[in-house]
Amino acid sequence: MKITKTDWENTRTDLDRFNQERNAATCMRDGISFLIDWTKADNPEIAERLEAILTQHQQNREEDWI
């Protein structure tokens, strides 16, 4: 029996979904960190706002675990 993508999506576990969400969040944080470094010299106010966003996201993640 050939397993199609639809079959796989229907049999995903909560752990699979958690890992996918965690990987997406990691990619987002990496991208924002890159933007912070890239904009820091020319636009420090943008870099500061992006740093605040990352800090808030980190705090929200820690609250969920407690």
48 is a domain residue: yes
Enclosing domain of residue 40: 14-65
8 is a domain residue: no
Domains held by the chain: number: 1
Rounded to two decimals, what is the model's pTM? 0.65
53, two tokens: 């966003």
Could you report how far apart the first and last alpha carbons of the chain are, in Å? 43
pLDDT in tens, the chain (66 residues): 455 556 556 667 888 888 888 888 899 999 999 999 999 999 999 999 999 999 998 888 877 665
1 is a domain residue: no
- Locate all alpha helices (DSSP H) within 14-43, ordered by sequence: 14-39
24 is a domain residue: yes
DSSP assignment string, 46-64 = HHHHHHHHHHHHHHHHHHH
Q: At what angle do helices 44-65 and 14-39 cross, to 10 degrees?
A: 160
53 is a domain residue: yes
23 is a domain residue: yes
